[in-house]
Amino acid sequence: MNMFDLTGKVALVTGGAHSIGFAIGKGLAQAGATVCFNCTSEGSRVRGEANYAAEGITAYGYVANVTSEEEMNALVAKIREEHGIIDILVNNAGIIKRIPMLEMSVADFREVVDVDLNAPFICAKAVLPGMLEKGHGKIINVCSMMSELGRETVAGYAAAKGGLKMLTKNICSEFGGANIQCNGIGPGYIATQQTAPLREKQPDGSRHPFDQFIIGKTPAGRWGEAEDLAGPAVFLASDASNFVNGHILYVDGGILAYIGKQP
């Protein structure tokens, strides 16, 4: 199983202090990687390092805004100085605004695209010179089922994640010959704080209608857990995926493969 060993590798997980980013960071660390992550505040950085420490992992948090080219270039340089050239980038940081399109302001739309699409471009651009220098690298973009599908109220998110899918393919196209693999993970519906409003119990104790819809639409019959993404991330970060490039690995319990039950 040495092909999955990440010992000696340096990983940067954006937004890696909690939720999906934390689960992926934890998986990479357990496979041997040195894990670094960024946060938007000092408090989040401290809590993130404590979360890793509670799992017996020493991870290194930094405060940096993924939408700032200047801050991310400085962060990548600092990580290189303290830990070495980044071998693995996980573009995980993201936001969603559930607003009907006609009610969504252009400012809100731009904010979602800035965090979910522009930031992965900024972060990839920051780490690629080091990967080229080292002669290898792994970039993992956290995409979404909304890279393939649309749904009411998520115009900005779907547009950004669809763009991220194509950015993934383009990085593969441009840097594959330099032994750099860029792939995406497309989570299905994952039980996180971000999706908690969609799983709230109704006043009568019944499941939220959207919760019922997702359970019925997913062959696995459940929401995913953040930990379900750790194994796929380790695979895409490791030598086991050296000939996998430009691919989006959907971790969705089968939802994209399923037309649903007949009413």
Query: Which two tokens mark 45?
Result: 């950085």
**Sheet arrangement for strand 88-91:** 60-63, 34-39, 10-14, 88-91, 137-142, 180-187, 248-251
Cα–Cα distance list, 213 to 8, 20, 100, 210, 217 (Å): 44, 22, 19, 5, 6
Establish whether 157 is a catalytic residue: yes
Maximum Cα–Cα distance across the chain = 60
Query: Which two tokens mark 40?
Result: 């938007």
Angle subtended by helix axes 155-175 and 106-113, to nearest 10: 30
Cα–Cα distance list, 225 to 24, 122, 228, 253 (Å): 11, 28, 5, 10
Q: Which is it for strands 137-142 and 88-91: parallel, antiparallel or unpaired? A: parallel
Query: Residue 58 and residue 45: Cα distance in Å, rounded?
Result: 13
Q: How far apart are the first and last CA of the chain?
A: 45
Query: Residue 96 and residue 104: Cα distance in Å, rounded?
Result: 12
3-class secondary-structure state, position 73: helix
Catalytic residue among 157, 189, 250, 258: 157
- The catalytic residue positions are 157
